[in-house]
Structure 1
Amino acid sequence: MEKASEHYFYVLKSGDGSFYGGYTTDVQRRVRQHNDGKGAKYTRSKGPVKLIYTEAFETKGEALRAEYRFKKLTRKQKEKFLGLAGDRDDQ
């Protein structure tokens, strides 16, 4: 039986405290790319980045929809989603 590929929505916290949400099939490889300056243009000048959230999905479409929903949130809503609301030491 073939293992279904997993698709991930992930969130990084940049060195400046901002959040970046993305999609990948290999979370650790993607985080390395971001920290090596080979990831998204947004994270290149904001490193190093730290992985703070991952969620696995069965399909690419589901993971991309999760990423899209996250990116539409306000900063406050993102903090609440990530369980960081009121956690001022982790900014």
Structure 2
Amino acid sequence: MPYVYILKCRDGSFYTGSTVDLEFRLAQHQFGEGGDYTRRRRPVELVWSSEFARMDEAFGWERRIHGWSRAKKILLIEGRYDELPGWSKRQRQEPDAG
């Protein structure tokens, strides 16, 4: 399943990405193979992720989150969805739990 994820880097900054294999992608980031940004800011810590039904949906949310302020990303990480404009059930359906 596709995922969008946010990593907290050693310097306190956030990195947002998407992948179809979250565990493998996190290992890549930790070993310095995940991209220039995280390579220079290791170690990284997974602070948020969400699963999507399709990769295009995950990638769309990754692009959207990239444009968010740090404060808005923190609301997402803390699960304060009701305070996030643009995170309504109409705009992003949570995958079925079952």
Any unmatched runs of 5+ in structure 1? 1-5, 86-91
- Assess, with a 3 A threshold, how the Cα gap between structure 1 residues 41 and 74 changes in structure 2: closer, same or farther: same
The alpha-carbon deviation at position 81 of structure 1 amounts to 1.6
The alpha-carbon deviation at position 84 of structure 1 amounts to 7.8
Stretches of 4+ moved more than 6 A in 1?
none
Any unmatched runs of 5+ in structure 2? 81-98
Q: Deviations over 1:32-60 (max 9, x none)?
A: 10010100111010000011111111111
Is 1:50 matched with 2:25? no
Q: Which amino acid aligns with 1:18?
A: S
The alpha-carbon deviation at position 19 of structure 1 amounts to 0.6
- Assess, with a 3 A threshold, how the Cα gap between structure 1 residues 27 and 11 changes in structure 2: closer, same or farther: same
For 1:89, the equivalent position in structure 2 comes to none
Pick the aligned partner of 2:77 from 75, 82, 89. 82
Is 1:62 matched with 2:62? no
Q: Percent identity at matched positions? A: 38
Is 1:31 matched with 2:34? no
TM-score with structure 1 length normalisation? Answer: 0.82
TM-score with structure 2 length normalisation? Answer: 0.77
Aligned length, in residue pairs = 80
Cα RMSD, aligned residues only: 1.4
The alpha-carbon deviation at position 83 of structure 1 amounts to 1.2
For 1:14, the equivalent position in structure 2 comes to 9
The alpha-carbon deviation at position 14 of structure 1 amounts to 0.4
